[in-house]
Amino acid sequence: MTVHRAPDTTSPSTDADSAPGADGWDADSSASVPRDGLPSLPDAPAQHASADADAALAAELERLRRENLYRARRVLEGPQGVRPVIDGRGMLSFCSNDYLGLAAHPVLADALREGVARYGVGSGAAHLISGHSEAHRQLELDLADFTGRPRALLFSTGYMANLGVISALCARGEHVYADRLNHASLNDGARLAGARLKRYPHRDVAALERMSAGPGASMIITDGVFSMDGDIAPLPELARVAQAAGARLMVDDAHGLGVVGRAGRGTLDLLRMDDLQVPILVGTLGKAFGTFGAFVAGSEALIETLIQRARSYIYTTALPPAVAHATSAALALAVREEWRREHLHRLIARFRHGAAALDLPLMESHTPIQPLLAGDSLVALEWSLFLENNGVLVSAIRPPTVPKGAARLRITLSAAHHEQDIDRLLELLGRLPRRRGRVPRANGGPMT
């Protein structure tokens, strides 16, 4: 069976470790620029070469289809939410990162309109040229206040924040230690820096301790809440190892901020960690906060260094100021409306309780990311298709986004769900097609 599915853009990469330059990024970066600086006109053989290249691409795409790894996009016909309309059909969705149900909230929409009236639509320039507006400045102050850190710096996306921070702070050849299930952007940042990326087994502090014992440790980087597993990094232990190794600990809390901790202040607040233990905090704004963009929070010196050196900050157009204005409103709403987190955590408990009663292979997670382990990619796709045929949208996540043999349904819950939505999902999960009468055990152990 070949089933086409939308990708999950929160994908971590499970690539193998890479040495500096292993991707060949630096080797021939100027190869296509002629000495006189003018582009050369394509000649006839070059056109043939491009037809050959297309044939090779088509063959590779065919292989992805054959192996059930081909991904296709869906078109939403209205706002993001738990009841999107897709291809003309109303669905019940459990696969966005809109954890607090803010993406289409009227307060944010009003703030966006107000921002457009005040600042127009585009920022028109990079932050360091003339694109840095009062709305950006205010949001940075709000984010610094929210995270309890001296400064915050806006980036256009979380992907760019991670590239920018790691490549600005790590020198070529320095050692960067990363959890194997980190988001792909953290690995890519280390590669862009030309650092030696060393990936330790998921949450395995003892392994990290052994690996980082030698000289040259520069940074330890980890998701706060892991995007595909929903579990939480052992931050106090990582901070201890970082201190012993003389390395900086950087936490990407894309899936924790807004959701866990007091007033949604994230995983660091949940675990009562301070900025000496975790000097670099990255957060994204397109998930729980419902808008778009990202930020880094830390010391005065850190933020000023990033402004001078982070290439993905310097060489790009600033986020539209109206989006920054709407995000300030989102942040205030997320802090103020504690009921969203309370309701969300009640839904998580209800879902886990129901899944345990059904003996489902749910992975160990107490965040809105509730992965159901299928093991085989085809099983995950069949499950996803079964749910879709019954009006429920949950994406199947397959390798290389997750390790081989760990394909899953990535179920995400939102404060916008009702209890009946959870019950409907559970009812369908109880009727999932089972292959050879076998359902994998989550984490190889008892199900919770």
Mark residue 168 as left, alpha or beta (left: phi above 0; alpha: psi -120 to 50; beta: remaining). Answer: alpha
412 is a site residue for ligand PLP (CB under 6 A): no
One residue of 84, 115, 158, 264 binding ligand PLP per CB under 6 A: 158
222 is a site residue for ligand PLP (CB under 6 A): no
Q: 209 vs 182, 248, 408, CA distance in Å?
A: 18, 14, 30
Query: Based on CB atoms, which residue is closest to ligand PLP, 253 or 382?
Result: 253
Q: How far is the CB of 410 from ligand PLP (least distance, A)?
A: 11
Query: Based on CB atoms, which residue is closest to ligand PLP, 180 or 350?
Result: 180
Show contacts with ligand PLP in window 231-270 (CB under 6 A).
Answer: 252, 254-255
**What is the bridge-based pairing of β-strands 294-298 and 151-155?**
antiparallel
| Measured distance CA(8)–CA(214) in Å, rounded | 37
- How is residue 325 written in tokens? 């204005």
Angle subtended by helix axes 419-429 and 338-357, to nearest 10:
20
E strands present in 17-88: 85-86
CA angle 382/359/428 to nearest 5° reads 45
Residue nearest to ligand PLP (CB): 158
345 is catalytic: no
373 is a site residue for ligand PLP (CB under 6 A): no
227 is catalytic: yes
Show contacts with ligand PLP in window 166-185 (CB under 6 A).
Answer: 183, 185
Catalytic residue among 96, 123, 133, 227: 227
410 is a site residue for ligand PLP (CB under 6 A): no
User: How far out from the chain centre does Cα 332 lie?
Assistant: 22
One residue of 99, 159, 289, 383 binding ligand PLP per CB under 6 A: 159
| Measured distance CA(296)–CA(310) in Å, rounded | 11
Q: Would the CA dihedral through 221, 223, 227, 231 be positive or negative? A: positive
Query: Based on CB atoms, which residue is closest to ligand PLP, 13 or 448?
Result: 13
303 is a site residue for ligand PLP (CB under 6 A): no
Tally of CB atoms within 10 A around 386: 16
Count residues near ligand PLP (CB under 6 A): 16
Q: How far is the CB of 418 from ligand PLP (least distance, A)?
A: 26
189 is a site residue for ligand PLP (CB under 6 A): no
Task: Name the residues annotated as catalytic.
Answer: 227, 255, 287
- Binding residues for ligand PLP, rule: CB under 6 A, are 9-10, 157-159, 162, 183, 185, 223, 227, 252, 254-255, 284, 286, 294
